[in-house]
Amino acid sequence: MSHLVETMAYVGEVPWHGLGTQLPQGVTPREMQIAAGLDCRVERKPLVWLDEDGQANGSNHVALVRSDNQRTLDVVPDDWIDFQNDDAAEFFVDFINQGEGTMETAGSLREGRHTWFLARMQAEGEVVKGDLQRSYLLLSNPHQYGKSITCMLTPIRVVCNNTITWALNKASEQLTTKFSHRTGFDAEEAALAVRYADQRFGEYLDQAKFIANIRASRDAVIRFLDQLFPATGEKAERKELSSPGVEVLQVLETQPGAQLAEGTWWQAYNAVTYGVDHLLGRSPETRLNSAWFGVGAGTKRRALELATKMAKAA
């Protein structure tokens, strides 16, 4: 396994990114944690520096060091509030024990600087006949300065395993809840947000059904892709699509599930999610990182918003 994805485990069929160790159905969060190589702690180590007289002086920062291999992950202020991999796994226990979800995958990126757990929730439904969507809970736990602990509802289109980035924050009417390492993780608040988001899964389905019933001309799809993947330089002057836009347009009618709501904004939107998850980027692991945590996640969120806007204007 290459350097970006360090370790990973999953349940069931091989995931779209093709990475990780397979586990049987029904594993506990703790079993998933161990199989994914997350059975270690991130310890705080004091930092010192020597002045010109050779005297040791303390620092108001600490090093975050992995307990299993003593690798330094980052340097953070000494008021940093820890959120261990054990804590992340424990967050899922009530959901699993109460039958609200099942563990799906967990893993580690960038030498353990970024870890995650993913569970399949109960909500699901079809956008059109044969196009099933399922609700998943993603908990992202970075051991890195400037990165927040994040809970996110992630619908997945079963026919092609495309992930849909959809936000968890009741106050802003989105579905992403973030916790700073300066304030700490609030498990009760996060659990309430998760259940609220799972209840709102039907709203996502309504939005998807709407764009699946509005026709999208090829010219409109090209304008859609041009806004998501703007061209620069000579291509922009010639009003050509950028390379990512061309790749997505090429799979518009060949992507898995392309025949479902063919010729609609749903087809156009899913060409983008398929491109981000399966085509764009240097490797499966870079696509995984981008699709869940990086530029790709933002692109998919904007794509759903823009497809809905253009469908309403049609």
pLDDT tens across 35-55, in order? 999 999 999 999 988 778 878
Per-residue exposure over 38-62, b if at least 16 CB sit within 10 Å of its own CB, e if not: bebebeeeeeeeeeeeeeeeeeebb
What is d(CA 224, CA 241) in angstroms, rounded to the nearest whole number? 10
Round to whole Å and give the CA distance between 29 and 67: 20
**E strand or H helix at 101:** strand 101-109
Q: What pLDDT is recorded for position 17?
A: 58
Each residue's pLDDT tens digit, 129-188: 999 999 988 899 999 999 999 888 888 888 887 777 654 334 334 456 889 999 999 999
Question: Does residue 110 come out as left (phi exceeding 0), alpha (psi in the -120 to 50 range) or beta?
Answer: left
As a whole number of angstroms, the distance between CA 296 and CA 291 comes to: 4
Q: How many CA atoms lie within 13 A of 242 on its CB side?
A: 13
Distance CA 226, CA 232 (A): 11
- Averaged pLDDT for residues 86-91: 96
Q: Percentage of the chain surpassing pLDDT 70?
A: 92
pLDDT at 166: 53
What's this model's pTM, rounded to 2 decimal places? 0.84
Mapped onto helix, strand or coil, the DSSP state of residue 112 is helix
Count other C-beta atoms under 10 Å from residue 99's C-beta: 8
